[in-house]
A = this chain, B = another copy of it.
Amino acid sequence: MAKKPLRIGLIGYGFMGRAHSNAYAKVGHFFDSEHECVLQAVCARDEAKVKDFAARWGYQSIETDWRQLVARPDIDLIDIAVPNNLHAEIALAAAKAGKMILCEKPLAMNPLEAEKMVEAIEAANVPNMVWYNYRRCPAVTLAKQLIDEGRLGRIFHYRAKFLQDWTINPELPQGGAGLWRLDAAAAGSGVTGDLLAHCIDTALWLNGPIHSVTAMTETFIKERKHNASGKVEKVGIDDACAFLARFDNGSLATFESTRYARGHKALYTFEINGENASISWDLHDLHRLQYFDHRDQGLVRGWRNIHVSDGDQPYLKNWWVPGLQIGYEHSFVHQVADFLKGLDTGTPARPNFRDGLATDYVVDAVLNSARSSQWVDVKHA
């Protein structure tokens, strides 16, 4: 039976543009669906580069103006993989044009933008998702499954960190290709919107809404050369952010992110402690889940180091054989697979834009708290 084409128009060809393209190219090799991804067009301002990208990945056409792309009738889905300050405008236009949207995270520069995006996409009534890919590392999905089964019991604690060390060098400039994450005008915030947003999305998914937060932020390197102006300019982003939180379910949490933690490239970890069991995970070994079950006999009780590679564990039956690990890129493949399944079944996959808004509310409360040195209540999406 012929599959239904899902004609994708990708905007942006950076790190995320590649990760998404790889997912579209691979998903059909490993996951069944009535739909199949068609690499219809890729869009970016630099024509030569976007042509190269299209050739490498097999996109059938290119655009250099995203408005043209959004206007094309042969595009079903707009994938927004550009800096944060461009998300809202593109998404509003795409929603208006009735396109499905996959949008990179964080959803927007601030809740105001995000609310408009949610309003637009829900008015358009089209499938939509935000690329919080870590939900779909099999070990993380397994964690969700164990929590949903009630194995942990009452939750007491949640803690998450996302630690990196790539901006310690003060000679590193801000702005421009590959470095827009250091430019407040393009990124909105620093580690809070970039890294903690991932931690928050996972936390909301695993542990429910956050009630209130108290936060601190710091910018260790106060000035950096800007790639646009060529001048040394004040750094507007937060280099580091930590916050305490109380969840609606009564559990306590600590969150921390920085790009100044020597030795950690991408240490996204979370741990959740329940009455009966605990779980922890680390992105550096994303194929493993640590699980402690107090109901195990005391004599042989210990943290179980689970190599998540068996066919009965999430997504794994579609890959290789037990013991053979998958990696980072597979989380994107899974997200596309689930999006397609959502199209097949009519039950949309998540996190959708509204979920992305929920995370943006927490990000906003965190930044407000850091500015005001007060506890701040979190608005719920």
Residues on A close to B: CB < 8 A?
Answer: 15, 18-19, 21-22, 25-26, 28-29, 56-57, 142, 145-146, 156-157, 159, 163-166, 168, 214-216, 218, 220, 240, 242-244, 246, 250, 252, 254, 256, 258, 260-267, 273-278, 283-289, 291-294, 296, 298-307, 309-310, 312-313, 319-330, 373-375
Contact = CB atoms under 8 A, between A and B. Distances in A.
A143 to B, nearest CB: 10
14 contacts: A25-B25, A29-B57, A157-B240, A157-B260, A164-B323, A262-B278, A263-B292, A264-B323, A265-B322, A296-B304, A301-B304, A303-B305, A325-B325, A325-B328
A57 to B, nearest CB: 6
A109 to B, nearest CB: 23
* Number of copies of this protein chain within its complex: 4
A13 to B, nearest CB: 12
A304 B304 contact: yes
Contact of A302 (B165, B216, B242, B291): B291
Interface secondary structure of A, over-half rule: mixed
A166 B311 CA distance: 13
Given A22-B29, A29-B56, A324-B266, A252 B216 contact: yes
Name the 9 nearest CB pairs between A and B, nearest first. A265-B323, A266-B323, A263-B292, A302-B306, A302-B304, A327-B327, A324-B328, A156-B260, A262-B278
Contact of A285 (B260, B267, B285): B285
A302 to B, nearest CB: 4
Contacts of A168: 156, 275
A122 B80 CA distance: 52
A137 to B, nearest CB: 10
A307 B298 contact: no
Given A19-B320, A322-B266, A312 B298 contact: yes
A4 B30 CA distance: 28
B252 A240 contact: yes
